[in-house]
């Protein structure tokens, strides 16, 4: 069997496995320059055989660039890369794949129209006489999935699975490719806890088989659960590489941003005002019988697992989906919200879950995105007043410290955290009474997180109310004045801030989900 | 993205059943629609269900099907080939010129067939190296190749092609017209390539997510070369057959066939967004379009109305198809 054929199951005795402290990859003074940016400034990094090496850093610190260099998607500008002591160029994805380097990306990078099995075998199809052995591939893929404990159908089209399940397919796909170095870029951002556990057991198993793992995550507790060593990037430079036993969350956060941990979940004491929103027995597609209130100056949190019905609830509140029962009152008067435009007119705005798909026009410029909701205001006679547009846009860029080459830069050129700032900024430009934030800090670096929390406080002080959805319990726990727990489309509990501990809330959220925790 | 599906990894969804049943249904409903039109036409006219008319129908279908199959390859990658009509015109004139110049048939056909790879490679080069959108580079060929054809013939019609060449399109084998056999000779390898080789899989992969394909080690450029050369070659082949069928070489042959081929592919279920389509679809789509033209002729419908009807049917069929897809 040729060496690049996938191996499906049982740990094959790898020559490298015993040799655990020898470096697999060494980066020496690696630089990467793009037009206008110096993304990596002389990185020295050693990845040892068979270790789980976490890499952390704020968005824009250079993590994505580093991965792209390791996977051959970008070529380094200068420096040396050694692979098992031998110098390599890493000029193309093919070269990286040939060495046994694979990656599982943050956003699933697979072909949604192909089947699970076809994705797993993409580029390494099994053939006989020039034709594909389709049945054999489906069987092999199914065997791999079953063996890993992922109960997913190999013959199903990928786009019939949830994002979390697709992420697991991506991981299984990488695992079966006879990999030596496997890079996970924030794989758990869209995973439910049960799926995260499956992924972690896969990662630990690969480590036992001698695979070197690079693990990138903003969730520090995951890193302490999983990693052997951790490296911190800041502004394109490597700050430190440490053994996980010799460091602490507080130290890592200081390395990343020079900011201490209790400042991250920034929360100010703000007086609650009058009743702003009252929802009574609202039902709609994916959720049933939800009642809650939001006061001016209050953050109401919605916590639950992915699929619990929280996004469906706010989408209905925002007029994207029709309600089937219940009443909504704003500022004491019943309102009927039949469309997004109705919601915005009534002073409700939504910062959606997926900034790429729902929040931004990625191939238009930063200025356009920031001005999009207010073009009506900017064009009183039908013509857009360019001066007013520029002023509104520049105000948000400087207020929010959006790191961009300028308002004419295209939105996709910005890092995740800065893209999120644009989505928030466009609604700050517009103004509203009730702000709904759906997973506002997913894939956002610590610095931007703090900034987002400060914006929350600012909005509250000005008399707005906030509904915030988050799957990250410490965040909603620390920030919210009232916390509603959702499970399987139902509102199962509500607590005031600090009323109960994390364990109670987590228990409410997962009770019937059969999770192992 | 959204939270609308429960994501317990332990669940065992069965969507592939629904999908395959649905694929089958789409072929069936298109066939059903065809049968319906055929039955209606047989009842409404005396001339529809005659051997002569059926043979005629199959001949025209075959020419369009060959082009539409190539077009479908391009469409699956998310591209489009507007040049196929012009290629038909050019290749029909080139093969006629060569035959008139005394080349034996095999040589004239072989030389003409070079047009496919040359034009297809030019398109792929333009897309990959010059960064032009497929729409633009093939639009340029659409007018440019027509011009070459007109220049070569000085705008005149080439007549007096050898009898053996002209007779080929009129022959039948086992009761099936030779042109229909030619369509099969194209369709079967196309089916094997698209559905049973890894190259076929890469065509879908490039249309679905080119970046994912690239990161999997798939060569995007080879795939793009493959589909545009396939499309141009299919059109060249159809052009040679068309010259045989109409027994003359005219540079304006095949005008608007690029639109017919796109319509046939889309009626057959291909998506202009890429990654969706198969080989049977464009064949059925061509059959439907030919039937509409043929039936309208037999019913003595004003040809101007024929165009309107064809346009309305495209909207109707594709809309119905999308409704079905949404319901899934």
Domain boundaries, chain B: 50-327
How does residue A3 score in pLDDT terms, banded at 50, 70 and 90? very low
CATH number of A23-263: 3.40.50.300
Across A339-363, b (16+ Cβ under 10 Å) vs e yields eeeebbebbbbbbbbbbbebbbeee
Tell me, what's the pLDDT at B4? 39
Could you tell me which residues come within 8 angstroms of residue A470 by beta carbon, excluding any fewer than 6 positions away?
A: A301, A302, A303, A439, A440, A441, A476
Average pLDDT of A144-170? 87
The token pair that represents A176 in the structure block = 């079966």
The token pair that represents A491 in the structure block = 């509102």
DSSP element (H, E) containing B230:
helix B220-246
Tell me, what's the pLDDT at B13? 38
The token pair that represents A465 in the structure block = 């109310």
Mean pLDDT of chain A: 83
Of residues A431 and B233, the one with the higher pLDDT is: B233
Q: Do β-strands A333-334 and A325-330 pair in parallel, antiparallel, or remain unpaired?
A: antiparallel
Tell me, what's the pLDDT at B137? 96
A71 and B215 within 8 Å at the Cβ level: the answer is yes
A153 and B204 within 8 Å at the Cβ level: the answer is no
Could you tell me which residues come within 8 angstroms of residue A3 by beta carbon, excluding any fewer than 6 positions away?
A: A178
Average pLDDT of A246-269? 72
DSSP summary character for residue A90 = -
Tell me, what's the pLDDT at B46? 86
Report whether pLDDT(A499) > 70.
yes
A357 and B13 within 8 Å at the Cβ level: the answer is no
How does residue A209 score in pLDDT terms, banded at 50, 70 and 90? confident
How far is Cα A160 from Cα A113, in angstroms, rounded to an integer? 9
Per-residue pLDDT of A468-481, as tens digits, reads 998 777 788 888 89
Q: Tell me the backbone φ, ψ of residue A290, rounded to 5 degrees.
A: -100, 130
ipTM: 0.73
Report whether pLDDT(A428) > 60.
yes
Tell me, what's the pLDDT at B58? 92
Q: Report the chain B residue with the minimal C-alpha distance to residue A198.
A: B9
A160 and B12 within 8 Å at the Cβ level: the answer is no
A311 and B6 within 8 Å at the Cβ level: the answer is no
Per-residue pLDDT of A435-450, as tens digits, reads 999 988 877 777 788 8
Distance from CA of A338 to the nearest CA of B (A): 20
Per-residue pLDDT of A400-420, as tens digits, reads 888 888 888 888 888 778 888
Question: Looking at the partner chain, which of A132, A309, A513 has a beta carbon nearest the beta carbon of B196?
Answer: A132
Total residue length of chain A: 517
Domain covering A264-347+433-517: architecture:
3-Layer(aba) Sandwich (3.40)
How far is Cα A340 from Cα A432, in angstroms, rounded to an integer? 13
CA A141 to chain centre: 27
DSSP element (H, E) containing B316:
helix B303-327
The token pair that represents A330 in the structure block = 């704003």
Give the start-to-end residue ranges of the domains of chain A: 23-263, 264-347+433-517, 357-431
- Residues of chain A neighbouring B13 (CB-CB closer than 8 A): 153, 156, 160-161
- Residues of chain A neighbouring B8 (CB-CB closer than 8 A): 192, 194, 307, 513-514
CA A399 to chain centre: 24
Report whether pLDDT(A171) > 80.
yes
- Residues of chain A neighbouring B211 (CB-CB closer than 8 A): 109
Per-residue pLDDT of chain B (328 residues; tens, 9 = 90+): 333 333 333 333 334 444 445 555 555 678 888 888 899 999 988 888 888 899 989 999 999 999 999 999 999 999 999 999 999 999 999 999 999 999 999 999 999 999 999 999 999 999 999 999 999 999 999 999 999 999 999 889 999 899 999 989 888 888 889 999 999 999 999 999 998 888 898 999 999 888 888 877 788 999 999 999 999 999 999 999 999 999 999 999 998 899 999 999 988 888 888 888 999 999 999 999 899 888 888 888 888 888 888 788 778 877 877 776 665 4
Total residue length of chain B: 328
- Residues of chain A neighbouring B205 (CB-CB closer than 8 A): 111, 114, 122
Tokens 């490296």 — which residue? A231
The token pair that represents B257 in the structure block = 């066939």
Calculate Rg over the CA atoms of chain A.
Answer: 24
Average pLDDT of A278-298? 90
DSSP element (H, E) containing A349:
strand A348-351
CB A108 within 8 A of CB A167: yes
Tell me, what's the pLDDT at A373? 85
A464: left (phi over 0), alpha (psi -120 to 50) or beta: beta
Q: Do β-strands A237-243 and A127-128 pair in parallel, antiparallel, or remain unpaired?
A: unpaired
Bridge partner list, A101:
A181
Tell me, what's the pLDDT at A62? 82
Average pLDDT of A342-364? 85
Could you tell me which residues come within 8 angstroms of residue B252 by beta carbon, excluding any fewer than 6 positions away?
A: B89, B146, B149, B150
- Residues of chain B neighbouring A488 (CB-CB closer than 8 A): 6
Tokens 């037999």 — which residue? B298
How does residue A249 score in pLDDT terms, banded at 50, 70 and 90? confident
Mutate to test the interface with B, among A68, A104, A111 (most CBs of B within 10 A): A111
User: Where do runs of H (alpha helix) occur along A19-133?
Assistant: 63-70, 93-99, 116-120
Q: Report the chain B residue with the minimal C-alpha distance to residue A285.
A: B4
How far is Cα B237 from Cα B241, in angstroms, rounded to an integer? 6
Of residues A251 and A137, the one with the higher pLDDT is: A137
Break chain B down into helix, strand, coil percent, rounded to 5.
Answer: 75, 0, 25
The token pair that represents B161 in the structure block = 């092609």
Per-residue pLDDT of A15-47, as tens digits, reads 434 445 678 999 999 999 876 567 888 899 999
A122 and B208 within 8 Å at the Cβ level: the answer is no
Question: Looking at the partner chain, which of B4, B14, B217 has a beta carbon nearest the beta carbon of A286?
Answer: B4
Distance from CA of A442 to the nearest CA of B (A): 12
Tell me, what's the pLDDT at A435? 92
The listed CATH number (1.10.3470, 2.60.40, 3.30.110, 3.10.50) that belongs to domain B50-327: 1.10.3470
CB A302 within 8 A of CB A486: yes
Question: Looking at the partner chain, which of B13, B192, B217 has a beta carbon nearest the beta carbon of A94?
Answer: B217
CA distances from A166 to A143, A207, B13 (A): 17, 22, 13
The token pair that represents B105 in the structure block = 């048939």
Mutate to test the interface with A, among B1, B2, B325 (most CBs of A within 10 A): B2
A110 and B209 within 8 Å at the Cβ level: the answer is yes
The lowest-confidence range among A133-147, A492-506, B156-170 is A492-506
Per-residue pLDDT of A81-100, as tens digits, reads 999 989 998 888 888 888 98
The token pair that represents A479 in the structure block = 């920030």
Q: Give chain B's contact residues with A (Cβ, < 8 Å).
A: 1-16, 19, 192, 196-198, 201, 204-205, 207-209, 211-218, 275-276
B198 and A115 within 8 Å at the Cβ level: the answer is no
- What distance separates the 2 farthest-apart alpha carbons in chain B? 72
Could you tell me which residues come within 8 angstroms of residue A358 by beta carbon, excluding any fewer than 6 positions away?
A: A352, B1
CB A259 within 8 A of CB A450: yes
CB A165 within 8 A of CB A196: no
- Residues of chain B neighbouring A195 (CB-CB closer than 8 A): 7, 9
Tell me, what's the pLDDT at A151? 86
The token pair that represents A337 in the structure block = 């919200």
Q: Tell me the backbone φ, ψ of residue A137, rounded to 5 degrees.
A: -70, -40
Bridge partner list, A290:
A282
């Amino acid at each position: 069997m040729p060496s690049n054929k996938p191996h499906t199951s049982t740990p094959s005795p790898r020559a490298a496995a015993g040799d655990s402290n020898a470096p697999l990859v060494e980066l020496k003074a690696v630089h990467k320059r793009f037009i206008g940016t110096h993304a990596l400034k002389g990185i020295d990094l050693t990845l040892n055989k068979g270790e789980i090496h976490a890499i952390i850093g704020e968005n824009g610190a250079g993590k994505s660039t580093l991965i792209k260099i390791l996977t051959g998607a970008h070529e380094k500008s200068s420096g040396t890369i050694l692979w098992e002591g031998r110098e390599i160029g890493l000029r193309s994805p093919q070269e990286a794949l040939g060495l046994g380097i694979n990656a599982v990306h943050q956003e699933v990078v697979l072909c949604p129209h192909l089947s699970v099995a076809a994705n797993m075998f993409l580029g390494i199809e099994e053939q006989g006489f020039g034709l594909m052995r389709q049945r054999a591939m489906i069987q092999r893929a199914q065997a791999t999935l079953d063996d890993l404990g992922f109960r997913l159908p190999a013959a199903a089209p990928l786009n019939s699975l949830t994002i979390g399940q697709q992420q697991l397919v991506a991981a299984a796909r990488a695992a079966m490719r006879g990999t030596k170095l496997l890079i996970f870029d924030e794989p758990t951002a869209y995973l439910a806890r049960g799926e995260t556990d499956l992924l972690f057991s896969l990662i630990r198993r690969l480590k036992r088989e001698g695979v070197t793992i690079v693990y990138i995550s903003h969730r520090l507790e995951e890193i302490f659960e999983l990693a052997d060593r951790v490296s911190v990037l800041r502004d394109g430079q490597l700050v430190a590489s440490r053994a996980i036993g010799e460091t602490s969350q507080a130290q890592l956060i200081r390395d990343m941003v020079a900011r201490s941990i209790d400042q991250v979940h920034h929360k100010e004491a703000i007086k609650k005002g009058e009743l702003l929103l009252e929802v009574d027995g609202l039902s709609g597609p994916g959720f049933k019988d939800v009642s809650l209130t939001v006061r001016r100056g209050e953050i109401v949190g919605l916590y639950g697992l992915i699929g619990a019905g929280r996004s469906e609830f706010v989408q209905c509140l925002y007029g994207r989906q029709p309600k089937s029962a219940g009443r909504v009152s704003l500022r004491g008067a019943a309102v009927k919200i039949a469309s997004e435009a109705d919601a915005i007119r009534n002073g409700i705005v939504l910062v959606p879950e997926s900034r790429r798909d729902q929040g931004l026009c990625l191939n238009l410029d930063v200025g356009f995105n920031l001005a999009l909701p207010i073009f009506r205001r900017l064009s009183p006679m039908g013509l857009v007043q360019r001066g007013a547009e520029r002023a509104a846009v520049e105000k948000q860029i400087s207020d929010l410290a959006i790191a961009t080459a300028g308002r004419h830069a295209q939105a996709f050129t910005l890092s995740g955290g800065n893209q999120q700032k644009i989505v928030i900024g466009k609604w700050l430009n517009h103004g509203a009474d009730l702000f709904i934030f759906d997973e506002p800090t997913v894939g956002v670096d610590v610095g931007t997180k703090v900034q987002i929390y400060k914006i929350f406080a600012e909005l509250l002080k000005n008399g707005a109310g906030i509904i915030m959805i988050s799957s990250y319990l410490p965040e909603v726990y620390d920030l919210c004045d009232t916390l509603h727990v959702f499970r399987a489309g139902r509102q199962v509990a509500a607590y005031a801030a600090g009323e109960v501990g994390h364990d109670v809330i987590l228990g409410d959220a997962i009770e019937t989900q059969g999770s192992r925790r | 993205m959204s939270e609308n599906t429960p994501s317990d990894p332990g669940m065992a969804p069965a969507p592939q059943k629904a999908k395959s049943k649905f694929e089958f249904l789409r072929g069936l409903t298109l066939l059903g629609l065809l049968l319906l039109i055929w039955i209606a036409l047989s009842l409404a006219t005396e001339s529809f269900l005659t051997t002569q008319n059926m043979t005629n129908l199959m001949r025209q279908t075959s020419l369009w099907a060959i082009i539409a199959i190539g077009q479908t390859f391009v469409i699956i990658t998310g591209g489009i080939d507007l040049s196929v009509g012009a290629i038909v015109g050019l290749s029909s004139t080139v093969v006629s010129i060569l035959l008139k110049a005394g080349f034996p048939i095999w040589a004239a056909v072989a030389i003409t067939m070079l047009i496919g790879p040359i034009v297809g490679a030019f398109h792929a080069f333009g897309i990959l190296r010059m960064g032009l959108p497929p729409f633009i580079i093939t639009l340029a060929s659409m007018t440019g190749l027509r011009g070459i054809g007109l220049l070569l013939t000085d705008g005149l019609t080439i007549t007096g092609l050898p009898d053996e060449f002209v007779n080929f399109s009129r022959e039948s084998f086992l009761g099936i017209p030779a042109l229909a056999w030619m369509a099969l000779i194209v369709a079967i390898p196309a089916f094997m390539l698209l559905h049973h080789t890894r190259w076929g899989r890469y065509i879908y992969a490039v249309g679905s997510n080119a970046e994912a394909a690239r990161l999997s080690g798939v060569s995007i450029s080879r795939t793009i070369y493959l589909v545009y050369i396939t499309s141009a070659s299919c059109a060249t082949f159809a052009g040679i057959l068309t010259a045989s069928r109409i027994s003359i070489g005219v540079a304006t042959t095949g005008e608007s066939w690029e639109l017919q081929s796109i319509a046939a592919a889309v009626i057959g279920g291909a998506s202009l967004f890429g990654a969706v389509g198969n080989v049977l679809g464009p064949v059925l789509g061509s059959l439907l379009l030919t039937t509409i033209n043929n039936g309208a002729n037999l019913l003595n419908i004003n040809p101007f109305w024929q165009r309107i009807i064809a346009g309305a049917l495209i909207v109707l069929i594709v809309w119905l198809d999308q409704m079905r897809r949404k319901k899934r």
